[in-house]
Structure formats: structure tokens, C-alpha cells
């Protein structure tokens, strides 16, 4: 049966359901360049406005997987399990989590991305470690998994090329927010990656992609359904992103904090979420007797971190980059810190040089923000609240502007501490 792009666009424009043949054809034709960008843009907008049902999303995801290669870790003697976060501010969880889960007996093939806008990227963070390499061939990736039990690297060009092409298009056409397109984008890469089990960390709140719990829940349920439909054991946690995770936002700053967690310390919320996700990943991999808390305490997780960094060319003992300039923002009043908005902190860190506006922009390894208090804690007027780090001090005014207004709120009301949300909001399986 012959197809044409206009018929497919009209079908979705008019609220219809795309047939499996139409989906297979348009993804393949777009990947090969037969369907033009402007035609795929029109279809993406129609999907954004009219949605897709579960069968359509599953077929769309399958077609994107089929556009490239599928990785195979069956030669490893260990079960494979992976985690994906929808992204947030200060979300450095992958860094301690991958070696921790490896220390408990699973193999963790973690394909990660770069930051864009106010959300940080795992690869940017790790590249602040001298010598560390994000780009590995499939053979190198397998070798690191055998050596360290965990690998964190960039997805190869052969993995879901349709997604890479479509993602770039969505970014410039106002169609990023479509839940079917977000879910199929994430899951096509994760399923093609070949992991046996997957845990999703779906963020909710101002610093997250999904601002409301209803949207986050819909995305989580869609992705869990996709994983299940493709034979990957999948579970999701809904987690709070109204305030930054941990006490740092920025590349080298977050690596330093991650190493503190691996050394048995670190901020309570980072440790709590790392352990919760580790338990979910181990459970999904069938390793129900493993104790991730012990692996953090006894140093085995740190051993796996050091092996993983070395296996990817990095020096785990090298000093991390430090920004040349810093500026302190003090508490505006005495009382309980009621609000420290994650989005505002993320934008400020981005403006300091920790993030990028376009994919090709460089980032500063040392730039970012340190938090000296979290919501729910008492502060005194004039005490340091945030320290801003950058190599380029002319960036300070724009970063401070992002933190103005209602981004920071101090209240002397006794009930202020009750407004602090839990880190983990729900579990969806």
C-alpha cells in the first residue's frame, strides 16, 4: 500500500487514529529524508493537539526503535537494569546511583544526555572530571560494563536515529510538550539500549518538565505502559522538583556532592532518592536481597565509581575544576525558608555558564550554585543563602535577576516547615 505524508497529517489533524502501516511508513520515510521537516512538524503539532492512544504510541515507539540498531547485553553474566530521569535542577542522582547498583550485583548500561536550558545534563557533569570520555563505541561500552559493572555514556548514532532527528525538530517547533512524543522519545532509546529492567524518575514541579502532578502521572503511566508492551520490566517514581535536589546545581559542584554521597555522606534528599531508586532497580532486576545502604556505607559503591571513571579515561583523584569568581546571596529576613524555587535556581545556574541555550554551546565546568539552606530550615537575615560560581563575573547580574521576585521566600509563620514536600510523591507500576 502506498502512503503519502499529507494523508497521514490530515488523519491526525482531524482527530483520527493513525494505522500501524501509516506510522511505520512515516517514521521510516522521515528518517530516510523522503518526508520533509515541515511535513513532520505539521504532524508533530497535530499529535500535540489531538494526542495518541496507547496502541498508536506503542507502534510509534516500535517504529523509532526499528529505525536503528538494538544493543544486546545478553553476553554479560549479570542482569541489566537502568534508570531514566525526566530532568531537573541539582539532579545528580545518576552519578552515585549507577555505581551503587553495580556494587549490588547488577550491570547498569546508562545512556545519558546533555543539559539544555535550566536542566543539567549528566554527561556535562561527568566531563568536569579530567580525562573522562562520554563517547564510547558499543564494544567499549561492553568492556566498561565488564570492568566496572556500570557505564554512563552518550547514546551512539545508531540508536533510534528517528528520535534524534525528530527531537531536534520538536525543539524548534513548539511541540516538545506532547506526552505521546516525550514518552516515545525516552522509551525508544531505553528499549533500543537493551536493558532488561527500567526505573523512571518522573519529576514534578517548577524545576521539572511536568509542572503538575496530573501531567507527570500521565507521562509516567504512558512510559510504564510502553515498557511493559515491549517486554521491559518498568516502574516509575514521581518525585518532587519544586526545590533543587541536594545543595548544588552545576557540573563540577554536583560531581563533588555525588562523591560525598558515595563516601557515605551528602545531603539527605539525594541519599534518600538514590537509595529508593537503587532498591527499585535491584528489585526490577530480580536482586531482591541486595542492600544498597550497606554498599554506600562500606565503600563498595565508591570502588565501583572509581573503576567506572578510570575505565572511561577519567582520573577519580584529580581535583575538580573550581570557578574563578563567586558571589554570595544572603537571606533577606530571619525566619523559616519557605520557598527556594527550583526553576529560578536552574535558570541562574544556566546564566552563570553551567548550562547551554543551544546544543552546540560550551559549558563552564565550575559554574553553578551552592545552597546553604533548604526550605523548612530556619535562617537569619544576612546569613549566606546561596553562593554563585562563574568564570565570567559579568554573568552575575543576570543570574541574580533570575533569583529575584518570589523565587526566595522567608516567613516567620510557624506553619512554614509544613509546606516542604516529600521527595518521593508516588510509585507507578
The domain segmentation of the chain, as residue ranges, is 5-51, 81-155+186-311, 325-419
CATH of domain 325-419: 3.90.1170.30
Candidates 185, 188, 242, 258; catalytic one: 185
pLDDT tens-digit map of 97-144: 999 999 999 999 999 888 767 787 899 999 999 999 999 999 999 999
Measured distance between the N- and C-terminal CA atoms of the chain, rounded to whole angstroms: 38
Decide if pLDDT at 418 tops 60: no
Average pLDDT for 196-210: 94
- The fold of the 5-51 domain, in CATH, is 1.20.970
Of 12, 59, 83, 84, which one is the catalytic site residue? 84
At residue 267, does pLDDT exceed 70?
Answer: yes
pLDDT at 416 over 60: no
Question: What was the pLDDT predicted at 209?
Answer: 87
Catalytic residue at 185?
A: yes
pLDDT category of residue 265 using cuts at 50, 70 and 90: very high
Residue 329: beta bridge partners? 386
Catalytic residue among 189, 233, 304, 339: 189
Greater confidence (361 vs 388) lies with 388
Q: Which of 82, 91, 163, 269 is catalytic?
A: 163
* Catalytic hit among 125, 170, 351, 395: 170
* CATH topology identical between 81-155+186-311 and 325-419: no
Percent of the chain with pLDDT over 90: 86
For the structural domain made of 81-155+186-311, what CATH number should be given?
A: 3.40.1030.10
Q: Based on the residue annotation, tell me whether 391 is a catalytic residue of this protein.
A: no
In angstroms, the CA 192 to CA 172 distance is 25
- The pLDDT of residue 135 is 95
| Cα–Cα dist 423/90, whole Å | 13
How does the average pLDDT of the chain come out, rounded? 94
Planar angle of CA 374, 210, 360, nearest 5 degrees: 90
CB 109, CB 141: distance < 8 Å: yes
Average pLDDT over residues 168-190: 91
Angle, helix 5-13 to helix 20-32, in steps of 10 degrees = 130
Max alpha carbon distance in the chain (Å)?
A: 72
User: Sorting pLDDT into bands at 50, 70 and 90, what band is 362?
Assistant: confident
Question: For this structure, is 372 an active site residue?
Answer: no
Amino acid at each position: 500500500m502506498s502512503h503519502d505524508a499529507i494523508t497521514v497529517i490530515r488523519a491526525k489533524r482531524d482527530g483520527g487514529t493513525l494505522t500501524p502501516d501509516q506510522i511505520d511508513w512515516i517514521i521510516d520515510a522521515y528518517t530516510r529524508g523522503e518526508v520533509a521537516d515541515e511535513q513532520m512538524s505539521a504532524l508533530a503539532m497535530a499529535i500535540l493537539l489531538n494526542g495518541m492512544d496507547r496502541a498508536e504510541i506503542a507502534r510509534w515507539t516500535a517504529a523509532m526503535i526499528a529505525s536503528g540498531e538494538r544493543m544486546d547485553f545478553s553476553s554479560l553474566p549479570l542482569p541489566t537494569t537502568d534508570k531514566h530521569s525526566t530532568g531537573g535542577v541539582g539532579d545528580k542522582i545518576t552519578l552515585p546511583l549507577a555505581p551503587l547498583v553495580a556494587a549490588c550485583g547488577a550491570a547498569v548500561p546508562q545512556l545519558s544526555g546533555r543539559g539544555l536550558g535550566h536542566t543539567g545534563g549528566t554527561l556535562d557533569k561527568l566531563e568536569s572530571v579530567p580525562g573522562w570520555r562520554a563517547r564510547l563505541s558499543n564494544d567499549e561500552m561492553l568492556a566498561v560494563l565488564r570492568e566496572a559493572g556500570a557505564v554512563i555514556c552518550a547514546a551512539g548514532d545508531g540508536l533510534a536515529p528517528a528520535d534524534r532527528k525528530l527531537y531536534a525538530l520538536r525543539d524548534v517547533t513548539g511541540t516538545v510538550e506532547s506526552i505521546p512524543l516525550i514518552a516515545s522519545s525516552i522509551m525508544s532509546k531505553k528499549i533500543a539500549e537493551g536493558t532488561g529492567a527500567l526505573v523512571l524518575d518522573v519529576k514534578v514541579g517548577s524545576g521539572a518538565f511536568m509542572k503538575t502532578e496530573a501531567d507527570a502521572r500521565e507521562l509516567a503511566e504512558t512510559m510504564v505502559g510502553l515498557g511493559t508492551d515491549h517486554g521491559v520490566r518498568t516502574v516509575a517514581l514521581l518525585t518532587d522538583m519544586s526545590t533543587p535536589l541536594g545543595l548544588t546545581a552545576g557540573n563540577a559542584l554536583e560531581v563533588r556532592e555525588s562523591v560525598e554521597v558515595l563516601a557515605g555522606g551528602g545531603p539527605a534528599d539525594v541519599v534518600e532518592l538514590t537509595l529508593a531508586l537503587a532498591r527499585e532497580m535491584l528489585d526490577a532486576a530480580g536482586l531482591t536481597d541486595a542492600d544498597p545502604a550497606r554498599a554506600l556505607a562500606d565503600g563498595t559503591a565508591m570502588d565501583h565509581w572509581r573503576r567506572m571513571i578510570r575505565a572511561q579515561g577519567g582520573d577519580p583523584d584529580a581535583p575538580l575544576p573550581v570557578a574563578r569568581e563567586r558571589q554570595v546571596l544572603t537571606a533577606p529576613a530571619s525566619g523559616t525558608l519557605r520557598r527556594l524555587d527550583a526553576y529560578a535556581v536552574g535558570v541562574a545556574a544556566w546564566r552563570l555558564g553551567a548550562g547551554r541555550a543551544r546544543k552546540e554551546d560550551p559549558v563552564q565546568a565550575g559554574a553553578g550554585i551552592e545552597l546553604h539552606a533548604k526550605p523548612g530550615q530556619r535562617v537569619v537575615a544576612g546569613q549566606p543563602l546561596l553562593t554563585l560560581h562563574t568564570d565570567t563575573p559579568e554573568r552575575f547580574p543576570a543570574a541574580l535577576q533570575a533569583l529575584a521576585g518570589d523565587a526566595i521566600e522567608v516567613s516567620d509563620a510557624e506553619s512554614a516547615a509544613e509546606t516542604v514536600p516529600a521527595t518521593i510523591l508516588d510509585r507507578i507500576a
